[in-house]
Structure 1
Amino acid sequence: MLINCFPIQFFANVQFVLGNTMTVIAAVLLGPWYAFVTAMMASTGLMLVWDSPHVYLFFGLEALFLGYARRRDIYALYADAAYWLLIGAPMVYLYAVLLMDIPPSHLGFIISKQGINGLIYTSLASLLILAIPKLWFLKDKVKDRHRRQLSAQLTYFFTLMVTLTLLFSALIFNFYSLERQQVMLKQNMTEAVVHISTAAQNHIENHKAVIQNTANQLNLMADTPEQWQAILSSLHQSYPSFISMLIADPAANIVNASPLSRLLSIQKQQQSINIKDREYFIESFYNHRFFVSSAFLGRGFGNDAIIAMSAPFYLDEQHTKIAGIIEGSLDLSHFSYIDQVNKYSTDESVVMVDEQNQIIYASEKLAFKPLSQFNFVINKGVYRANLDLINIHNTTSIVPEYIYTHHELNNGWTVYILKEFSPLLKLAEEQMFSSFILLLISLVCTFYISTKLSTLLTVPLEAVANQFSQPDTGKASTIDENSPKEVFSLYQRLVTSKQQLVAHQLELEQTVANRTAELEKANIKLTELVDRDPLTGLYNRRYAERKFGELLDFCLRSEQAITVVLLDLDLFKRVNDNYGHLAGDECLRNVSQLMQTYFKRDIDIVARYGGEEFLLILPLSNALHIEQHLNGFREALSQLNITSPEDKQSFKVTVSIGAITANADYNVQLDKWIKVADDNLYQAKQQGRNRTIINIISD
């Protein structure tokens, strides 16, 4: 009972109860009713810890089952395995379904761990009985109804040893495997939350800078209000994350707005919007400071969930006379983009709350409404894990719903990364179930093998008896003329077995050689798959970066030039938006095929750099013709008809190209080449797209 008051925690709700070892010893030595009383006492310790009366039922029936099996000369390990297969597992399933608030996905884990737990303490009890001689001669010990055979006893001993060895090996492996999985999971989630927090922080800071810079620009034009609308409209077009923008005069009346259509609509109704009661107007106008509000529902210009950013601008250089304020309403739904580009995991959910714990953004599958309170309960129940566990939907359940980590932004907001706990529990369940099945198979195999081995060990005794009972055949023997027939027969079997073994060994060596050759081919194919982009069939970025050094050495020896090119499809997002993502994939495949047609030398590296961006590494380049060749590809692409696989619509795309051609000794680092090509690509985009800009560096 005292031992069961401190069950050994493994993972989640798996706890090993070694106090039940005494129950098994009582069942083997004293019979079912002594075992039942022992089980009731031992289960009381579990009752104190788990506060669940089911322990009396499960372990009481187990004690009776083992006691009656002992009376029928059935070994405890075999009887316990039969109990959990035939009685215990169905009872655990019914109890969990009918009386416990546990998700169905957890049932397999709970059932398998109960069976393994039973095999552990039964094996330990059996070994203790064998290892303590005093227990063999215990008074009133249950006697065997039939004398046991030596082979049966040896078989059971071998089975016990193999079972315990496999049990502890599997448990240790599962334990460290789950520990390593949790460490990796925690690291990935931490990296993800930092990545998303940084992206959100940058998004907010960028838009704060936009409002502040625009206020500074309006300071220079405060006396020409007719230009304010143009500035505001142009700014809003460049920063669509603002759901609306406005300029208010000192009387708090909105004089300019974007989208302008909303303001015109209100003016047509001969109405005006006064914002003198808005916190962002009060803070900026009266306190002369830049202001960022908490999340709230807008009114007047819409009822979307927004964050207001406002700043004053002035009529004089001393900033004493306020000409008005500029305000931008940041659309909270834009944070979904940050969630969608989360590169760490697709099965993670994101929740972002402000300093008042209002939900600014939550992943769609969580079904949270914006601006609602984020209520959760940190799970500190019976589930053991090296991770932070949380419940957000069913806060009263003992079963954790999510693994979580969080990170606080500079403005007081907090980003939570949530990952469902059930997949990790499913992994533990699969490992536990696999261990249980492995144990059952090992029991059967060990029983069979041990039986044969035990029989073989009795042969020398039969040989001693047969030496005097069987006449000498007079047959010559290469071992000894006086050797018994059984020994001579054994020798012949060994010789035959050795010959067969040599034949099998040769056959095995040939099989290994064949498998080695097949493995080498598979490794070559695998290497090619690792270096290829699965969508386009082009080389991937990692391969290009690895091969650049080889091409650089080659061109250095021959004093030749290299061209590094970055290509980016223009307005590729419109393809996905207008024709669907399948059309986008088809577009990338068509572009890749055309690139392989234009840049088809064996030494050319054509790689997908990421998304709709491609990388070319062209050694032995001709500086006089490379720009013409790149323009040829660009023009050919602009004429290429691409058909959407869904609606069969045809469309075309263009590409912007940035490149650098230089001698191989320009720089040994590919990043330096790519930096120049990327700057040129940026210029090509800025100059209207669908053009090529290349730097040819002769020195």
Structure 2
Amino acid sequence: MKLPSINKQHLLFSIILGIAGLLINCYPIQFFANVQFVLGNTVTVIAAVLMGPWYAFLTAMLASTGLMINWDSPHVYLFFGLEALFLGYARRRDIYALYADAIYWLVIGIPLVYLYVTFIMDIPSSHLGFITSKQAVNGLVYTSLASLLILAIPKLWFFKDKVKDRQRRMLSSQLTYFFTLMVTLTLLFSALIFNYYFLERQQAMLKQNINDAVSHLATSAQNYINGHKTVIANAANQLTIVADDPLEWQPMLSNLHESYPGFISMLIANPQAQIIAASPVSRLLSNNQTRNININDRDYFIESFYNHRLFVSSVFQGRGFGNDAIIAMSAPFYTDEHHTTTAGIVEGSLDLNHFAHVDQNNEYAIDESVVMVDEQNQIIYASEKLGLSSLSQFKFVVNNGVYRTNLELINIERPESIVPEYIYAHQSLDNGWTVYILKEFSPLLKLAEEQMFNSFLMLLIALMCTFYISKKLSALLTVPLEAVASQFSPSASGQHKLPSIDENSPKEVFSLYQRLLASKQQLIDHQVELEETVARRTEELETANKKLKELVDRDPLTGLYNRRYAERKFNELLDFCLRSDQAITVAVLDLDLFKDINDNYGHLAGDECLRIFAQLLQKYFKRDIDIVSRYGGEEFLLMLPLTNALHIEHHLNSFREALAQLSMVSPEDKRSFNVTVSIGAITANADYSIDLDKWIKVADDNLYQAKQDGRNKTVINIMTE
């Protein structure tokens, strides 16, 4: 089997398109969560439409490399490579790109994405619908853009050796496709913009709600703590009053605990850290060992007794009165009002179940969870559905992966997963505790999935309706136009009117038919005359343009090129000599004492002198590649490519000597006079400098030296390196 020959132009163009697609795909457009829209694949569709499947495949591989760099997932080569081949072969069968791409994603693309995500990627099944529908919508977006670009760029219409239609398309089909394309792109962008702002709004609402919830819970917790700190402080003040009567301690403690059930238990310890009184008293009486419990190792005793301060502990496991996780609040009381001697401490163990009650009755907590940790990040309380134990460390990972949202995201159960589990907000309390509100992320993603799916479904319905309506509309336009074309075709000569063109035809088409009928002979009569006129005017215009160009580039007095032309041509000469590694000579020539000629013989003599000088220059420097120009006033510029460094000085001197021997005649009084010239020049390889000013600077310096040496001299620098 003979392989098809490679079209070098197509190969180069497909590579250029692929590199452009690669660069664009390095910056995908973030939409929501892990959904990113890629527009670099637009070039793949262009390659498929213009050059066929295999060039499109090459473009797709290059463009997909940008996604590989970004996503680190080789599936892009499979999905988009198959898409390129499918679109290329569909183009060879005269199937429009938009229709072909819709078929590809429905039949091949979406099933492949589903299988890949299910068996290879670590993404929950609840995310599948969102991901697969996004791929299809993305495909329609960049296919529509590519089709519009091909329509909008005329150079692509006439792309050399592009894939040709097997059969000439009907105007009705082209109109139908164009209308479908415009409606598709309009609906796609409208749906995406609507979904984007809808999801942005949902995120803003969620963020506001969760921030309100954490603020509400934090305020409640702060008030709860502050209130019980006040209770402990007041209890210590009351105990100070009766510190000398220990028999009063137990009744006072029992009454206090009865008034503030927010404490699980309360106790009073003496300076030896032994429990003297406790509430509920039943625990103290039922446990004979309780009186022997020493709490001198507890932070709440040490901080209050020795440091004389109201203390709130971290969460810890209780003993003596139960093994629950507790938080202790303690304060010292004294033997006198001046607080000189500590009589003991009063302590209350907070009921942490209070936070469960607040959590369950929180107006925001229908689908939210609560975690409260102390200053050491130990869990004080966590909602039951989270499955987190009190006293354990609250471990989570902030999700800063590929999921784009305006929300803060964390993972708890699966910290290594790229898929976020919870939206969260947190707030710190005055005592260093932190309150977290968690809300599952999956419901928001489910909402986005429903929006995307509904948009895709509506788009398909709109496409079918648009296709049907466009087909009918295009028929209304093309049938009468086809009749008009038939009327004025050569095969219809001799006919005056076709049955399909009558008063029932559209007004514009019928009017067009009448005008064409009336103008047909007139157009034929004027055709020859118009062609002759155009030919004549074209010739006149070319002549005028040629003269104008001469006027622009030539000095009117001497007929030499002017300074602007010389400076413009320098780069061409430089490139020419660079390719052959040849030298260039740049010379500046200045007529000696030219002002004296004008003063002594008149300006007409000066002009005649300049003309004769120019003629002599053209005689000596007459190669087609030499640039001889008047640089300004009595200064002239020579640019001599392919210079022989061994002979150029001799040639310049020959010209200078010939000028000195040449006798000139004043036009006014016929007096004879002579003129000399000073020459400054530089000969160097073409890579000496790309800046003409640098060459002229050296030549000018040499010209100045020639003038200083007495004029009528040639000073030249020949640079061999």
- TM-score band w.r.t. shorter chain: 0.5 to 0.7
Could you tell me how far 1:178 is from its partner in structure 2?
1.3
Structure 2 match to 1:431: 451
1:35 shift after superposition:
0.8
Residue segments in structure 1 that go unaligned for 5+ positions in a row: 473-481, 492-699
What is the correspondence of 1:577-656 to structure 2 with a 5 Å cutoff? none
1:369 and 2:394 correspond: no
Q: 1:10-69: per-residue Cα shift (whole Å, max 9, x none)?
A: 111111111101100111111111111110010111111110000000000000111111
- Structure 1 residue 449 and structure 2 residue 469: aligned? yes
Summarize the alignment of residues 89-100 of structure 1 with structure 2, pairs less than 5 Å apart.
89-100=110-121
1:484 aligns with 2:488: no
Deviation at 1:470, TM superposition (A): 5.5
In structure 2, C-alpha distance between the alignment counterparts of 1:178 and 1:231, rounded to whole Å? 59
1:193 is displaced (CA, Å) by 1.0
Q: Is 1:223–2:244 an aligned residue pair? A: yes
Measured in 2, the distance between the counterparts of 1:21 and 1:15 equals 15
Instruction: Kindly state the Cα deviation for residue 238 of structure 1 after the two structures are TM-superposed.
Output: 2.0
Question: Is residue 2:372 matched to residue 1:352?
Answer: yes
Aligned pairs (5 A) from 1:129-140: 129-140=150-161
From 56, 63, 66, the counterpart of 2:84: 63
CA–CA separation in structure 1 for the residues paired with 2:127 and 2:135: 13
Matched, 1:397 2:417: yes
- Deviation for aligned residue 1:483: 5.4
Query: For residues 84-126 of structure 1, what are the alpha-carbon distances to aligned partners after superposition, in whole Å with 9 as ceiling and x for unaligned?
Result: 1111101001000100000111010100110011001000001
Match of 1:381 among 374, 397, 401: 401
Alignment of 1:180 with 2:167, yes or no, is no
Judge which range, 155-164 or 4-13, deviates more.
Answer: 4-13
Q: Is the 8 A contact 1:463 1:486 kept in 2?
A: no
The separation in 2 between residues aligned to 1:209 and 1:144, in whole angstroms, is: 88
Alignment of 1:550-561 (within 5 A): none
Secondary structure, counterpart of 1:127 in structure 2: helix
Q: CA deviation at 1:223?
A: 2.5
Secondary structure at 2:330 match in 1: strand
- Three-state SS of the structure 1 residue aligned to 2:326 is strand
Q: Which amino acid aligns with 1:456?
A: L
Q: Which residue number in structure 1 is paired with residue 685 of structure 2? A: none
CA drift of 1:417 comes to 1.3
CA distance in 1, matches of 2:284, 2:29: 69
**Cα distance per residue 1:600-619 (max 9 Å; x no partner):** xxxxxxxxxxxxxxxxxxxx
Q: Deviations over 1:211-259 (max 9, x none)?
A: 1111111122223322222221122122222111111122222111111
Deviation at 1:401, TM superposition (A): 1.0
Per-residue deviation at 1:208? 0.5
Q: Does the aligned pair in 2 maintain the 1:310–1:326 contact within 8 Å?
A: yes
**Alpha-carbon distance in 2 for matches of 1:136, 1:315:** 102
Q: Secondary structure at the match of 1:419?
A: strand
In the TM superposition, residue 484 of structure 1 has moved relative to its aligned partner by 2.9
User: SS state of the match for residue 47, structure 1?
Assistant: helix
> Could you tell me how far apart the structure 1 residues matched to 2:255 and 2:291 are?
25
**Cα displacement string for residues 546-572 of structure 1 (whole angstroms, at most 9, x for unaligned residues):** xxxxxxxxxxxxxxxxxxxxxxxxxxx
**Which amino acid counterpart does residue 130 of structure 1 have in structure 2?**
L
Structure 2 CA distance, aligned partners of 1:487 and 1:30? 40
Q: 1:313 aligns with which of 330, 333, 343?
A: 333
Paired position in structure 1 for 2:663: none
For residues 521-532 of structure 1, what are the structure 2 equivalents within 5 Å? none
Deviations 1:569-622 (A, max 9, x none): xxxxxxxxxxxxxxxxxxxxxxxxxxxxxxxxxxxxxxxxxxxxxxxxxxxxxx
Pick from 285, 288, 292 the counterpart of residue 308 of structure 2: 288
Q: 1:471 to 1:419 in 2, by over 3 A?
A: closer
Alpha-carbon distance in 1 for matches of 2:344, 2:505? 112
TM-superposed deviation, 1:471: 7.1
Give the equivalent residue in structure 2 for 1:124.
Answer: 145
Given that 1:25 and 1:129 are in contact with CA atoms closer than 8 Å, whether structure 2 keeps it comes out as yes
CA-CA distance at 1:462 after TM superposition:
5.4
Residue 146 (structure 1) shift: 1.4
Structure 1 SS opposite 2:33: coil
- In structure 1, what is the equivalent of residue 75 of structure 2? 54
Q: Deviations over 1:639-675 (max 9, x none)?
A: xxxxxxxxxxxxxxxxxxxxxxxxxxxxxxxxxxxxx
Provide closer, same or farther for how the CA distance between residues 471 and 46 of structure 1 changes in structure 2, counting only shifts above 3 A.
closer
Q: Name 1:416's counterpart in structure 2.
A: 436
Q: Distance in 1 between matches of 2:112 and 2:499?
A: 62
Aligned to 1:112: 133
Cα-to-partner distance string for 1:480-525 (whole Å, 9 max, x where unaligned)? xx9535469x99xxxxxxxxxxxxxxxxxxxxxxxxxxxxxxxxxx
Report the Cα distance in structure 1 between the residues aligned to 2:222 and 2:42, rounded to whole angstroms.
57
Amino acid at match of 1:127: L
**Equivalent residues of 2:359, 2:365 under 8 A apart:** no
* Rounded Cα–Cα distance in structure 2 between residues aligned with 1:35 and 1:436: 26
Give 1:157 deviation, angstroms: 0.1
Change (3 A) 1:293 1:25: same
Q: Quick one: distance in 2 between partners of 1:317 and 1:131?
A: 93
SS at the partner of 2:277? strand
**1:47 counterpart letter in structure 2:** M
Query: Which residue does 2:53 correspond to in 1?
Result: 32
For 1:262, the aligned partner's letter is: R
Q: CA deviation at 1:201?
A: 0.4
Distance 1:304 1:344, change over 3 A: same
Pairs within 5 Å for 1:289-304: 289-304=309-324
Distance (Å, rounded) in 1 between the aligned partners of 2:161 and 2:107: 31
Cα deviation per residue 1:416-461 (whole Å; 9 max; x = unaligned)? 1111111111111111111111111111111011000000112432
CA spacing shift, 1:449–1:485, aligned 2, 3 Å: closer
For residue 302 of structure 1, what is the amino acid of its counterpart? Answer: G
Bigger Cα displacement from structure 2, 61-70 vs 174-183:
174-183
Where 2:271 maps in the other structure, the secondary structure is coil
Structure 1 residues 27 and 192 mapped into 2: Cα distance closer, same or farther (>3 Å)?
same
Question: 1:339 and 1:318, CA in 2 relative to 1: closer, same or farther beyond 3 A?
Answer: same
Counterpart of 2:554 in structure 1 is none
Match of 2:286 among 265, 272, 280: 265
* Partner residue in 2 for 1:507: none
Q: Please give the secondary structure, in 1, of the residue aligned with 2:41.
A: helix
Q: CA 1:487–1:433 in structure 2 vs 1: closer, same or farther (change >3 Å)? A: closer
Q: TM-score, normalised by structure 2?
A: 0.65
**Percent of aligned positions that are identical:** 75
Question: Is 1:12–1:383's contact at 8 Å kept on the other side of the alignment?
Answer: yes
Q: Secondary structure at the match of 2:404?
A: coil
Gaps of 5+ in 2: 1-21, 488-494, 511-721
* Aligned mates of 2:391, 2:425 — CA distance in 1: 21
User: How many angstroms apart in 1 are the aligned matches of 2:109 and 2:61?
Assistant: 17
Q: Normalization by structure 1: what TM-score?
A: 0.66
Work out whether residues 305 and 331 of structure 1, in 8 Å CA contact, stay in contact via their aligned partners in 2.
no
Q: Structure 1 pair 259/345, CA: closer, same or farther in 2 (3 Å)?
A: closer
CA distance in 2, matches of 1:271, 1:319: 26
Q: Give the secondary structure class of the aligned counterpart of 2:272.
A: coil
1:238 aligns with 2:259: yes
Distance change in 2, residues 1:232/1:270 (3 Å)? closer
Aligned equivalent of 1:584: none
The reply on whether 1:249 has 2:265 as its aligned counterpart is: no
- RMSD across aligned positions (CA): 2.0
CA contact (8 A) 2:49 2:91 kept: yes
Higher mean C-alpha deviation, range 60-69 or range 246-255: 246-255
Shift of 1:324: 1.9
Q: CA deviation at 1:76?
A: 0.5
Match for 1:72: what amino acid?
Answer: R
Aligned to 1:561: none
In the other structure, the counterpart of 1:159 is 180
**Distance of 2:172 and 2:338 partners within structure 1:** 104
Q: Number of paired residues?
A: 480
